[in-house]
Chains A and B, each alone.
Chain A
Amino acid sequence: MTDTQWPRYMVLHQEQDNKPHQHAGTVHAPDAEMALLNARDVFVRRPDCVSLWVVRADLIFTRTQEELALHPDWLGNIQAAGVPTEIYYVFAKRTQKGQFSHVGEVEAENPAHALKMALQQYPAVDGLVWWVFPAKAVLKSTPDDIEAMFAPAAVKDFRDQANFHALSVLRKLMRKQETSNEP
C-alpha cells in the first residue's frame, strides 16, 4: 500500500476582528472540513484567533517580485478573454520579515488575470510575494464557531510561560551565591 499524507490546505488566521487574515501554515487533511478542524488544533493552541480559513494549497497562484521583474511583459500579455469572472482573494507579503496578509479581493477570469488585477487595483501595496486564489474554494469558520473553537484556548493557562516563576527563583539564588562568594 503506498502511503498518503492527504492533500495540503493553506491555513489563514485572523487574530482580531479589525486585523487582516494572515498566513499561519498548512495542514494535511483529507477534505476541507477536516482541514478546518485540524487547523484549529494545530494553529490555535494559544488564544489569538477569531477566524480561520482553509484553502487547498494547489489552488494558490503565486508570483514573487523577482519573478515579475524578470519578465515585465508577462503581465502585459495577460488579456481578459471575456469569459465569466469570479472573486479571488489577494494576499501579499510586504516586508522581508513579514507574513502574508489579506490585501483584498479582485474579480477575474483566471488566476493569472487575478494577479494582474490585484497589481492594478492595489498599486500602493509593494508586494514582495503575491498570492491569489478563488474565494469560492475557501472554507471559513463562522462567528458561531468562536466560542467552541477558539475561546477555550484562553483558559489553558498552563501553556503560558508567564505562569512559571523559574527565572525569578534562579535570579534570587544566583544573587545569593554572588554575595556569599564575596570576601
Chain B
Amino acid sequence: MYGATVDPIEDIRSDEEKLAEFEARIARGEKIEPGDWMPEEYRRQLIRMISQHAHSEVVGMLPEGAFITRAPNLRRKLILIAKVQDEGGHGQYLYHAAETLGATREEMLEALLSGKAKYSSIFNYPTLSWADMGAIGWLVDGAAILNQTMLAKCSYGPYARAMVRICAEENFHRRQGQDIVITLALGTPEQKAMMQDSINRWWWPTLMMFGPHDTDSPNSAVLIRWGIKTKTNDELRQSFVDQTAPELMALGLTIPDPNLYYDETSGHWHFGEIDWDEFWNVVKGNGPCNAERMATRRQAHEDGLWVREAMAAYAEKDQS
C-alpha cells in the first residue's frame, strides 16, 4: 500500500487460481508489488521478517554507537559515525518496505518495545574494546552482506529494492571493519591481543546470526518456496566461514574453533558445532545485553514522545 486505494478492484478469481498464478509469477522471477494479490501467509512472513530486520538495524546502532565518542582518531570517528548513521538508514528503508505491506511504524515499534518482536541476537552481546568495531564491521556486517545479497533478489519488490540500496552501503561497513582488524592485527602486541580477544568473543555469535539449522527452522521451507529466501541458513553460514576463516588466519589471528579445518575433498572449511543452548537462550532474551538494549530503546522512545507530539501539533496548527 503506497497510499489510499480508490475504488478497489474486485478480484473474481478463486483462491486456488490466485495461488497458482502467484506461484507461477514467482517461478518466472517476477517481483510481487504492493497491490498485487499475495497469500496472507506471504504477507505475514514478510512483515515478520522485514520488521525484525529493521529492528536489528536500529538496535544494531547501539553497540557500535557506544564507541563513537571514543574512536581513537579523527578519521575513525567520522567513519564510525557515518557507519552507525547508515545502520539507522537501513532501519529506515526496511520499515518503509514493511509499510508497503500495511504495517505501520507505530505498530512495529510498539512490538519491538513491548518485547513481542525479535531482532538479531548478535546485538545482545556487549562491545568491550575498540577492536570490537573491527570485528563487528568485518564479521557481523560481512555475515549480514551474505544474507542481504540473497534478499536483494527476493520476490517482494520493495524488500528487494531496499536491499539493493543497503548492500551498496554495507560494503563500506565491511571494508572499514577489515581496515581496523588489519591495523590492530599488524600493530603492537597489545593491539594484536586486543584484536584476538575480540575475535574470540564475536566469532561464534556471528555464526549464530545465520539462524538455526534449516531442519530446526520452522519458516525456512515456505520462505524458499515463495522466493523470499533463495539459500538456506546452513548454505549461507558455510559461505561465510569459507570466505572469512582463511582471511583472518592470514593476519595471524586464531579462530576459536578447534574443529576448524580445510577439507580438501569438499573444498569447504569444516567447522565445529554451534552452542545451540546459548543461541536459544539469547533469543529468549537472556543474552548479556538484551535488557540493556531494550531499556535504551525504550528510553529514547519515551524521551522523544513530547518532541514527536509537538511537531505534529505545529503541523496541525500551521495547516488550519
Contacts and interface: CB of A to CB of B under 8 A. Distances in A.
A164 B175 contact: yes
Given A31-B315, A93-B33, A156-B82, A61 B89 contact: no
12 contacts: A4-B312, A34-B311, A45-B82, A58-B4, A61-B3, A64-B36, A111-B6, A128-B33, A129-B33, A170-B178, A170-B251, A177-B249
A161 B9 contact: no
Interface residues of B, number: 62
Interface stretch (A21-29, A80-88, A118-126, A138-146): A21-29
Contacts of A40: none
A50 B189 CA distance: 48
B31 A25 contact: no
A10 B2 CA distance: 9
Contact of A58 (B3, B179, B305): B3
Interface string B29-41: 1110111110000
Contacts of B78: 156, 158
B85 interface: yes
B31 A64 contact: no
Nearest to B88: A42
Nearest to B305: A1
Contacts, number: 145
A173 B250 contact: yes
B116 interface: no
A63 B85 CA distance: 34
Interface in B224-277: 246-247, 249-251
B247 to A, nearest CB: 5
Given A28-B105, A70-B9, A71-B10, A164 B176 contact: yes
B318 interface: yes
* Minimum-distance CB pairs A-B, first 8: A166-B178, A164-B175, A30-B311, A60-B3, A161-B172, A30-B315, A173-B250, A5-B105
Interface of B: 2-7, 9-13, 29-31, 33-37, 75, 78-79, 82, 85-86, 89, 92-93, 96, 99, 104-106, 109-110, 157, 160-162, 165, 169, 171-172, 175-176, 178-179, 182, 246-247, 249-251, 301, 305, 308-309, 311-312, 314-315, 318
A1 B309 CA distance: 9
Contacts of B7: 74, 112
B315 A62 contact: no
Contacts of B250: 170, 173-174, 176-177
Interface residues of A, number: 58
A25 B96 contact: yes
B10 to A, nearest CB: 7
A99 interface: yes
Interface string A8-36: 10100000000000000111101100100
Interface of A: 1-6, 8, 10, 25-28, 30-31, 34, 42, 45-46, 56-64, 66-67, 70-71, 74, 93, 96-97, 99, 110-112, 128-129, 131, 133, 156, 158-161, 164-167, 169-170, 173-174, 176-177
Given A3-B110, A70-B11, A131 B33 contact: no
Most interface-central of B110, B308, B318 (chain A CB within 10 A): B308
B308 A6 contact: yes
Contacts of B99: 8, 26
A1 B314 CA distance: 17
B36 A57 contact: no
Contact of B86 (A28, A34, A45, A169): A45
Contact of B309 (A4, A26, A45, A165): A4
A30 B314 CA distance: 8
A46 B166 CA distance: 12
A116 to B, nearest CB: 12
B2 A5 contact: no
Contacts of B12: 70
